[in-house]
C-alpha cells in the first residue's frame, strides 16, 4: 500500500472519533463531560466561535426541520470512507481516485451548505464541524492526487 493510500485511510480513521465527539456534543447539548471544550468565549468579526451557538440555532437537521440530525451524516460518512479506502487499497491494489472524487465532492458540496449556514445565517462557527470539513477536503485532495497519478 503506497503512502497516499495510507494517508487517505488515516484521514478517514481520524474522522471517526471526531464525528463521534461531535455526535456526543450535540446529543448532550454540549453540556456533557468533555464536550464543553468546544465552546469558547470568542467572537471574531461578529462571528461567535462555539459549538453551542451552532447547535442551538435550529439548523441542526438536514433536510431542514424534518431531516436527520447533522451528526448522523458524519457518523456514517467517515466509516464509509474508511471502508472504501481500505477496501480499494487492499482488494483492488489502491484507491480509485477517479471513482472516489465524485463521492467526496458530495461531501464537499454539503460542507458549502454548512459554511453558508454557519457564516451567513447563524453567524457562528463550530470548531468541531470545521475540523470535519477539513478532513473531507484533505481526503479529496488525496483522492485527486491519486486520480492524477492514475491517468
Which residues have C-beta within 8 Å of that of residue 143, sequence separation ≥ 6? 8, 95, 97, 100, 101, 104
Helical H runs in the chain? 3-27, 51-55, 70-91, 97-115, 127-150
User: Residue 151 — pLDDT band, cuts 50, 70, 90?
Assistant: low
SS3 62: strand
The more confidently predicted of residues 37 and 58 is: 58
Compute the mean pLDDT over every residue in the chain, rounded to the nearest whole number: 92
pLDDT tens track for 57-98: 889 889 888 899 999 999 999 999 999 999 999 999 999 999
Asked if the 3-150 domain carries CATH number 1.20.1440.130, the reply is yes
pLDDT value at position 13?
Answer: 98
The pLDDT of residue 26: 86
> Any idea how long the chain is?
151
Return left, alpha or beta for 50; rule: phi > 0 is left, psi -120 to 50 is alpha, else beta. Answer: left
Alpha-carbon Rg of the chain, whole angstroms? 16
Domain boundaries, the chain: 3-150
* Contact assessment for residue 40 and residue 120, using Cβ atoms and an 8 Å cutoff: no
Amino acid at each position: 500500500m503506497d503512502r497516499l493510500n495510507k494517508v487517505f485511510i488515516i484521514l478517514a480513521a481520524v474522522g471517526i472519533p471526531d464525528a463521534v465527539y461531535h455526535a456526543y456534543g450535540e446529543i448532550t447539548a454540549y453540556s456533557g463531560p468533555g464536550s464543553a471544550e468546544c465552546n469558547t468565549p470568542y467572537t471574531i468579526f461578529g462571528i461567535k466561535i462555539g459549538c453551542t451557538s451552532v447547535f442551538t440555532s435550529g439548523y441542526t437537521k438536514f433536510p431542514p426541520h424534518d431531516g436527520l440530525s447533522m451528526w448522523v451524516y458524519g457518523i456514517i460518512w467517515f466509516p464509509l470512507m474508511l471502508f472504501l479506502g481500505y477496501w480499494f487499497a487492499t482488494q483492488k491494489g489502491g484507491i480509485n481516485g477517479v471513482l472516489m472524487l465524485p463521492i467526496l465532492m458530495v461531501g464537499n458540496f454539503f460542507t458549502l451548505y454548512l459554511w453558508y449556514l454557519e457564516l451567513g445565517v447563524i453567524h457562528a462557527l463550530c470548531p468541531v464541524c470545521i475540523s470535519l470539513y477539513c478532513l473531507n477536503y484533505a481526503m479529496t485532495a488525496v483522492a485527486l492526487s491519486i486520480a492524477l497519478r492514475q491517468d
